[in-house]
Amino acid sequence: MTNNPFQASPEIEERAQQRLAAEEARITGTRRTAVTLGTTFREFWKHPSPWMLLGVLVGAVAWRAAEGDWRLTDLWAPVIWVALFPVLEWVIHVFILHWRPRKVAGVKIDSELARDHRRHHADPRDIPLVFIPWRSLIAVIAGAVLISVLAFPRLGQGLTFLVVVGVSGLIYEWSHYLIHSDYKPRTKAYKAVWRNHRLHHFKNEHYWFTVTSTATADRLFGTYPDPGSVQASKTAKNLHG
């Protein structure tokens, strides 16, 4: 047995990997092929959300450079954003993407993000569904710009924050796409992220909610169990049953 309470024993880890591989094979069939990182990167740019986020990033960098007034206090918001990003990712995944449709005063509440995420779970190999829907992304970008312009004591401070938001958005989209692509993980860090997200899709959708990191917010909120102790879910492909 291992002394780390959060790390499975080699035997349990092997069984969990075997179950995960069986579940993935059952869902994806024989569609998975070997591709290079370069091919995967070129395919990434065939979808709208990366270009939208790149536009935000380039615009924010240009605007920040034109604004000037550089100060050390520009750094506090990006540092806090980076530190809290795994938590934000977890909260969005749990409460927005896994939103259960419901009626309030006779009106059905169900966002495009939640609808597309249910479709994404139904077919994790449908690549367009991997990306943030462009209509929803417009609203997210507008909100980020307004926060950057209105919520900070100096415009330069807010624009520095907007630059970091653009970078983190691109990292999220690239990480999520790469996990669902045919590219096989080769580095230890990427293997951990790849494994966690596949456990979420192919073993149990109630755990492993972070995408760009592993054992961060999931461990904080108790959704990072030993894979060998978790039963395979019957609703991983059909959220909410």
Could you list the residue range(s) of the whole structural domain that residue 24 is in?
A: 10-229
Q: Which residues of 134-148 are buried (b: 16+ CB within 10 A; e: fewer)?
A: eebbeebbeebbeeb
Residue 2, domain member (yes or no):
no
Residue labelled with tokens 């990191």: 213
Residue 3, domain member (yes or no):
no
**What's the CA gap between 203 and 142, in Å, rounded?**
36
Domain count, the chain: 1
List the chain pLDDT tens, one digit each, 241 residues. 445 444 555 665 566 666 655 655 554 555 556 689 999 999 999 999 999 999 999 999 999 999 999 999 999 999 999 999 999 999 999 999 999 999 888 889 999 999 999 999 999 999 999 999 999 999 999 999 999 999 999 999 999 999 999 999 999 999 999 999 999 888 999 999 999 999 999 999 999 999 999 989 999 999 999 998 999 999 999 998 7
pLDDT of residue 35: 81
Neighbours of 8 (CB within 10 A): 19
Is residue 136 within 8 A of residue 52, CB to CB? The reply is no
Residue 4, domain member (yes or no):
no
Residue 118, domain member (yes or no):
yes
pLDDT of residue 215: 87
Per residue in 57-85, pLDDT (tens digit) is: 999 999 999 999 999 999 999 999 999 99
Residue 163, domain member (yes or no):
yes
- Angle (nearest 5°) at CA 187 between 184 and 191: 60
Backbone angles phi, psi at 107, to 5 degrees: -105, 130
Neighbours of 30 (CB within 10 A): 6
Residue 235, domain member (yes or no):
no
Residue 18, domain member (yes or no):
yes
Q: What is the DSSP letter of 109?
A: E
Residue 160, domain member (yes or no):
yes
pLDDT of residue 59: 98
pLDDT of residue 4: 47
pLDDT of residue 116: 96
